[in-house]
Structure 1
């Protein structure tokens, strides 16, 4: 999403140059606030799919989300496509204290006391859109990183009593939900730097007296407190019929489909499909899905009721096409054809929980397969170096993606990993996104998205492959020996 940026009124809370980024960052803030004008909804958000239904409705054809037929998409349709967005709030007022914020909100309501940052026309639009006598409402208090009693929260609400909303109060499913957000300084784990209560739940007066970083007041346009958790729970791995040790969790899979720009009618390919967890989220986006794997046992599943197709039936999604094949020799499995895939979304085997394999005999001089056995013969496999896995993956993507199509994959990394030189590259693919997820002190993984920008030239294949790793063996070894390096790091730990 390309956000149009507006400064929040309380500018001193944030740091950074608004001309360079739409993310307003602050020290020790474990989250980001994106701000944009309402007019940006129709011009800045990329609208690709035809339907405007929530992700996760009952029929397979209704999993598409953001409508291209509407000049301004609904907040619900945008949220249905987002994975990490907690909520969308129409900001009405802000201040350094609760009293300042309440005063700013009150000035918004008063045409005789215009706010310095809003015109009379702005206020009239807000009032016309939001205030209808019959509409019910409630006011929620959200205190980030602190606990307040119900009585203390009611005292905060009373500061906004001058707003005098005309409709009836309704605590469940109101027409309008207003929210007061009190922000304090949090560390990177989301815990308060200056906790209001100690371990014994006793109030710490000096911390309680500290002023908030900012107080916000607004109307929730989409994303009630439990909306995201409920959706993630629906697609959680623990609810799946068929799982394996390397099944990708639903949240990360949905993020990958967004980075790969998977949409309705996309043709998606996963060359290391495993139990199909990534393909399933592609299907939730309305894509046609093809998955391949070298392990026939994973493709067949445990039984007729416990396999990849079972998961797709569980969510009423079209069956994917599954083929046993070896990505190391992709061109030998399939006829030469024009670029085919809109997106390749995959989690390659990097040898931590499941080692990579490719076709090959364990014997020095293997016997040729007799003609009568070729139809159902399953070749032996041998270890497949992770560096070769990544080289072959980029080569297949450069060959088979349509122009502008995207490859999105996961790659493991340790603390000495340098994105500038240690990520695999290809002349036909442009790096567009790298997202880091820490897993342990030494280990993390990066979600990488690349876009095809040039046609593949078969005569240059050797040259392509020689340039995959910028620093040659040094870069490749950081990925290829990830398991050995983890074991070595574990031995050095005390105890």
Structure 2
């Protein structure tokens, strides 16, 4: 019979919480059953009561979920302490065996509020009906009971100290089962502590969330087609994934040393043996000759704010005379013996996103996942922006927003739902846009540097 557990979330990235719970559950082969009421499954709330079939599943979530701060064995909740105590009494079977001789401690805390010390003591004494006979131990108790009051956000409001005390939205009670250990990885993979990084390196917490969306695990083969300085390689390889990376600009991966910068950084983390190879090529002219190779594709495509996406080609076609001169130049040995560097042209974001999904359709194994960030203009975004890029055999299973105000970036997770083999995409050159839906991420670079101006000349918000 499923049992209920209280999850205490970290205060960051609320929209990423539920997709992460679902992904980690799928990774370990169990289901995280969310509350039935939409209000109770609101991901912006700091506490959530879920159902799990086994206690071991709670430990698995705490070991892997970046946004789980702690998990408690759930005893009760209510909009008042009378309701909370009634619920806790009804669950006496879950805590009665701790009564005789177990040392314990109570903590009373709140979200968006500070509870006065005197009322904290009153709350603890209100649980006297539990009749706990064990020793009160403040430093190393055998069990820790937690009581959590949830208050609505009061950001921007002036108020006196402890104003509104006791006017909480909901209160929860339970026994600490396990503290989240995965959050320690945020400090370990901090970009500032990394042996090699660049101005486009992804922050550690977001990288770890992306890695969980890929279901990275030992033996999984994972590909990053826009590797850059390797932010995704380190965290996916930490979880046991075998990583292959590529980029049109090999300098990003190599750096200046003899040993490629990505390999040097991975070696500092002890995961360099899981970086299979790094190659320089245009993803639209990739060397893959068969599909179904990878368990996941994870990437943060360049979208032109700090580094623009490129693909092979010329911005302007050569005329007949220029083409003749070029062919003579290319076919004759160069005096300085330097390699020929092909020209590149901008790769428009909306076209890149469609091509990325087509690439995933070809390269992913059945059930494999494509995980990538897509920047978008807040006021212009519509669900159709994401759905319009999805092709046959692929489905969107998560779409989480990291909000920066006038713009944001969406972590999109798309799964391959079929075992059908698809041909290698042709990646046709971008064609003039036809009449119809224009996604909010189209021409994102231009919109960003124009300050997201609307048609009436007003700006859509302050540019970050």
TM range (shorter): 0.7 to 0.9
In structure 1, distance between residues paired with 2:114 and 2:356:
49
Distance of aligned partners of 1:295 and 1:77 in 2 relative to their CA distance in 1, 3 Å threshold? same
Q: Secondary structure at the match of 1:433?
A: strand
CA contact (8 A) 2:108 2:147 kept: yes
Match of 2:110 among 134, 138, 143: 143
Q: 1:339 aligns with which of 286, 292, 313?
A: 292
Contact 1:232/1:250 (CA < 8 Å) preserved in 2?
yes
SS of 2:244's partner is: strand
Change (3 A) 1:5 1:136: closer
2:343 corresponds to 1:387: no
**2:11: which partner in 1?**
none
Q: Distance in 2 between matches of 1:5 and 1:467?
A: 53
- TM-score (structure 1 length as normaliser): 0.73
Deviations 1:59-107 (A, max 9, x none): xxxxxxxxxxxxx6353322122122232121112233235434653x3
Give the CA RMSD over aligned residues: 3.7
Partner Cα separation in structure 2 for residue 170 and residue 219 of structure 1: 15
Q: Distance in 2 between matches of 1:468 and 1:342?
A: 31
Aligned partner of 1:259 among 213, 220, 223: 213
2:380 aligned counterpart, secondary structure? coil
CA shift for structure 1 position 275: 0.8
Give the drift of 1:346. 0.7
* 97 and 395 in structure 1: CA distance in 2 versus 1, 3 angstrom threshold: closer
Which of 85, 95, 102 is the equivalent residue of 2:68? 85
Contact between 1:426 and 1:468, CA under 8 Å: does it hold in 2? Answer: no
Q: Does the aligned pair in 2 maintain the 1:328–1:389 contact within 8 Å?
A: no
| Total equivalences in the alignment | 416
State TM-score, norm by structure 2: 0.77
Q: Is the 8 A contact 2:220 2:242 kept in 1?
A: yes
Q: In the superposition, relative to structure 1, how do residues 468 and 395 fare at CA in structure 2: closer, same or farther (>3 Å)?
A: farther
**Residues 349, 24 of structure 1: alpha-carbon distance in 2 compared, 3 angstrom cutoff:** same
Match of 2:360 in 1: 397
Tell me, which stretches of 5 or more residues in structure 2 are unaligned? 7-32
Aligned equivalent of 1:13: none
Aligned residue runs from structure 1 range 157-196, under 5 A? 157-186=124-153, 191=154
Q: CA deviation at 1:325?
A: 1.2
Name the structure 2 match of 1:318: 272
Secondary structure of the residue that 1:458 maps to in structure 2? coil
- Give how far 1:378 is off: 3.9
| CA deviation after TM superposition for structure 1 residue 24, in Å | 4.3
Indicate the SS of the match to 1:166: coil
Give 1:177 shift.
1.3
Q: 1:127 to 1:479 in 2, by over 3 A?
A: same
1:402 and 1:149 mapped to 2: Cα distance? 56
Q: Which has the higher strand share?
A: 2
Q: Would the alpha carbon gap of residues 345 and 372 (structure 1) be closer, same or farther in structure 2, given more than 3 Å must change?
A: farther
Gaps of 5+ in 1: 9-18, 42-71, 108-114
Partner of 2:96: 127
SS state of the match for residue 138, structure 1? strand
Specify the SS of the correspondent of 1:262: coil
CA displacement 1:210-231 (0-9 Å, x = unmatched)? 632222211111226xx56544
Partner of 2:446: 484
1:438 corresponding residue in structure 2: 403
SS, match of residue 409 in structure 1: strand
Identify the match of residue 173 of structure 2 among 204, 217, 227.
217
Match of 1:64? none
Specify whether residues 145 and 457 from structure 1 end up closer, same or farther in structure 2 by C-alpha distance, changes over 3 A only.
closer
Contact 1:25 1:32 in 2 (8 A): no
